[in-house]
Amino acid sequence: MEPVVTLPDIEAARTRIEGHVIRTPLVPSPSLSAVTGADVRLKLDLLQPSGAFKLRGATNALLSLSPADRARGVTCCSTGNHGRAVAYAAGRLGIRAVICMSRLVPANKVRAIEALGAEARIVGRSQDEAAVEAGRLVAEEGMVMIPPFDHRDVVAGQGTCGLEIVEDWPEVDTVIVPLSGGGLIAGVAAAVKARRPAARIVGVSMDRGAAMQASLAAGHPVAVEEVASLADSLGGGIGLDNRITFAMCRALVDEVILVDEAAIARAMRHLYRAEQLVAEGGAAVGAAALLERSVTRPGGHIAVIVTGRGVDMDLFTRIASGEDVDPAAVSG
C-alpha cells in the first residue's frame, strides 16, 4: 500500500510549522543503552512548548486552514495533549478553540488548556463521548474539527518528528513510538521508511484499552472499553470509520507491544532517576518496552520517542518515590 501521507507531505509540513514548533534534541541514553546493549537515544518531544509532540500536527492543521475556516473557530476531542496543542496553536493564531474531553482526562491537563485561553468542555466518561460533543459543535455551530490523529495534516505534522530522527541519526534501525490513535506512529513511519526502508517501527501501548493493537489484530477498526491508566494520553478509540491511520499502521508498523501499569510506573521512575526526565505515563511506554526486554529484534541503533510531560506532579512524585499508584488516580 502507498502511504496516505508521504514524505513530500511531511517535508511541506516541516516548512509550514517552522518557527511555531521546535526541532527537539535526540540525546544518548546511557542507562537504556546499558540495559539493552544497544545505542539508545531519546527523542525529547516533551520539550515542545505545549509539552508534547501533538503541537506538530495541530499547528500544521491550523496553518493549513483558510481564513474563512479560521474565523469559524476550531474544536476537537482529546485525552489532553492534542487539546493543549490545539489551544496553544489557536492562541498564537488568534483562533477561537473549544476542547472537548471526558472526565478521565486528568485535571492538570484541563487546567493547562484553560490557561492557554481555550474553552475546556468536559463531556462523558470516554473520548468517544467527548467526540460526540465536538461533532455537535461542527454540525450546529459551524466550527472546524481538528481531529487528534485521523487527519492528513495532523499525520504529516507528526511525521516531522520522524524526519528529524532519521536526519540527525542516519544509522537508526529501530524507532520505538507510543501508540494510541496512530497519528504519530503513522507519520513517523512514513518519514523514516522513506529515508531508511529497512528501519523497524515498533509501537507500544498500555495493555488495557489499546485500541490500535486490538484493531490491527482484528483486521479492521474495533471499539474498546476506555479505562483509567497511567498512560492516560494513549486512551480512546481509533474511530470505526478510521480513514488514514489504521491503514498506515497496518502497512508500516512492524511490531506492537503492550506494557502493564507496573512496567509503565517503573519506566517513569527510570526516566526520572536515570535520565532526569519528567515524562507522563504515555510517554514512558517506549522505555518500558526496553526495560522489560519486550522488543523483538531491537537492533543496535534505537530511537525512543518520549512524547510528553503532561503529568500531574503530585501523582508523579508518588510514582517517582516508588509508591504503588491506583491508575484510577489519573482520572479527573
- What's the pLDDT score for residue 127? 78
CA nearest neighbour of 215 among 241, 188, 187: 241
Same fold: 7-53+151-330 with 54-145: yes
Q: Which CATH architecture has domain 54-145?
A: 3-Layer(aba) Sandwich (3.40)
Gap between the Cα atoms of 303 and 177, Å rounded: 9
Would strands 97-101 and 119-122 be described as parallel, antiparallel, or unpaired?
parallel
CA 7 – CA 317 distance, rounded (Å): 40
Q: What per-residue confidence (pLDDT) applies to 329?
A: 55
The CATH number of the structural domain formed by 7-53+151-330 is 3.40.50.1100
For the chain, domain boundaries: 7-53+151-330, 54-145
Q: What is the pLDDT of residue 79?
A: 79
Say if CB 207 and CB 259 are below 8 A apart. yes
76, 83 contact by CB (below 8 A):
yes
pLDDT attached to residue 2: 58
Which parts of the chain have pLDDT scores under 50? 330, 332
Question: Alpha helix (H) ranges present in the chain?
Answer: 7-17, 30-36, 54-63, 67-72, 81-93, 107-115, 127-141, 152-168, 183-195, 211-218, 245-252, 261-275, 285-291, 313-320
Residue in this structure with the C-alpha cell 535526540, named with its chain if needed: 26
- Condensed to tens digits (0 to 9), the pLDDT of residues 240-281 reads 999 999 999 999 999 999 999 999 999 999 999 999 999 999
